[in-house]
Amino acid sequence: MDIKTNRAIGVFDSGIGGLTVVRALMERLPFENIIYFGDTARVPYGVKSVDTINRYAAQITEFLIKKDVKMLIVACNTMAAVAHQTIVDLANVPVAAVAYQKIVEEVPVLEVIEASARMAIQHSKTKSIGVIGTPATINSNAYARAIHLLDKEAKVFSQACPLFVPLVEEGWFDHPATRLIAQEYLKQVIAEQVDTLVLGCTHYPLLKPLLQDIMGKSVQLIDSAEAMADIAADLIDQQNIGNKNSTPPAYTFYVSDVPYRFQTIGERFLGRTLGRVELISL
């Protein structure tokens, strides 16, 4: 048995939102070991400079590579938009040197933006796609670029929804205030008659029923967490690196700070008990 198959999938995020990706992975790949890192001490990343985000991303990547993960999943939209190349470069791990040649193991790096863009292109019949996200993600234009790389004819309409993250963390998934705010944010997107809407933030899947209700049943919602799990499952299948053990998988959670109400919010995102959370400093 190839020992690589038993190694964990590494998932990281600027905070707690990436737990929706972990949840989707647990459901889609129930035998895979998972290591999660949430940079809860330094969240939010959206207001940080490009250099700072790259530095943080490098530190987290090095931490997870040392944990011998077989795949890296960048669950943070801001890191995916800004620091993707830094992460990929660090994921090429020298494993040996033979006759002056470096043997490098390339740890695959998957990120939410490309995953969601692919799913959006697959599902859209009219090529009219809406994207909602945090201001930092929308301003980066990363989703529009990723979608246009896959299909030049696609029309992308982006909308920042800055209040969604605090509302989700408050647990107000179907609160009248959330509904009013969502209707206001989505007005313009609905006016553009999109047939597909990308939920471009890992917090947003928790608002899915509400958003679907506002957009209408004819609009396909692209859940970034589910898109990520599907693409991870396809890659594991292609490379034949699925965990062959029949023992229950190990789930390990690392954070850089344990903020107030972390356990409550974390379990809401994960849809199950969080288990042991280990505090580390990078």
Q: Which residues are catalytic?
A: 76, 201
First to last CA, the chain: 33
Closest CA to 4 of 238, 240, 223: 240
- Give DSSP secondary structure letters for 197-254: EEE-STTGGGGHHHHHHHH-TTSEEEEHHHHHHHHHHHHHHHHT------SPPPEEEE
How many of the other CB atoms lie within 10 Å of CB of 14?
Answer: 25
Q: How many CB atoms lie within 10 A of CB 239?
A: 13
Look at the alpha carbons of 72, 90, 80, 47 in this order and tell me if their dihedral is positive or negative. positive
How many Å apart are CA 51 and CA 48, to the nearest integer?
8
Return d(Cα 182, Cα 37) in angstroms, integer.
30
Per-residue burial over 83-108, b if 16 or more Cβ lie within 10 Å, else e, is: bbebbbebbeeeeeeeeeeeeeeebb
**CB-based contact 70:9 (threshold 8 Å):** yes
